[in-house]
Amino acid sequence: MLSEADRKKAADILMAAQKERKQAVQLSKTWPDITIEDSYAISTEVNKRKLAAGAKLIGHKVGLTSKAMQRSSQIDEPDFGYLLDHMLIADGAKIPHENYCRPRVEIELAFVMGKTLKGPGLGLADVLRATEYVVPAIEIVDARLQDPRKIMDTVADNGAAAGIVVGGRPVKPLDVDLRWVGGAWLANKLASFGSALEPGHLVLAGSFTRVVFAGKGDTLHADFGALGGIAVQFV
């Protein structure tokens, strides 16, 4: 476990990397003894600083929802990151490539909560009752730490969350094939941090395609079939 001073130092490194758009050395190299608990403490510290500076929490992202991804990361559960209001990007928007260190995109579904969802002990039925609608989403991920990263680096770096595009056609949760219960895991996990999913909050449920690198000048369009399409352009 890291000392409180080291956790704050790690938060400083991540804040500086994001501000300068320049990847920093992996925290797992600087602190080889770093644990997952340290990583969540670091991401929470960064989040607290951003909220104190005026940002607003609008939800959470869940990552590593597949068992294959968990095995490759040597963990046995997903991970999560915080979503803040400045990460929201309009469908079809042009965004400066230089705003990111090394942007990539993932195709996901976003759950929008209609009711508070507070763990522990929640299951799929609780998530479905609390979800107002599900909507197509593109997540922009941006590693503020260099490769190769360990799971501790990714968790500390807020799951690499950097941007969210939502659009297309909102649907009721029972109208789409929802074979994962990331929302239940997330709400139960957040209970251990003393927080919950609140009405209006977005939950990004994890990618169901391989991550795609986004180059300057690229337009990335995601076709969700009956749910519509969304796009974003890097300029």
Left, alpha or beta for 168 (phi > 0: left; psi -120 to 50: alpha)? Answer: left
Q: In the beta sheet, which residues pair with residue 117?
A: 197
Q: What is the pLDDT of residues 199-230, one digit of tens each?
A: 999 999 888 778 899 999 999 999 998 889 99
Q: How confident is the prediction for the chain on average, in pLDDT?
A: 92
Mean pLDDT of 71-93: 87
Mean pLDDT of 88-112: 95
- Interatomic CA distance for residues 222 and 37, integer angstroms: 35
68, pLDDT greater than 60: no
What is Dmax (Cα atoms) for the chain?
50
Which candidate, 10, 15, 18, 70, places its Cα nearest to that of 34? Answer: 10
The pairing of strands 103-113 and 131-142 is antiparallel
Q: What pLDDT, on a 0 to 100 scale, did the predictor assign at position 42?
A: 98
Which candidate, 54, 105, 56, places its Cα nearest to that of 84? Answer: 56
Q: What pLDDT, on a 0 to 100 scale, did the predictor assign at position 205?
A: 87
| Unique residue bearing structure tokens 């076709």 | 223
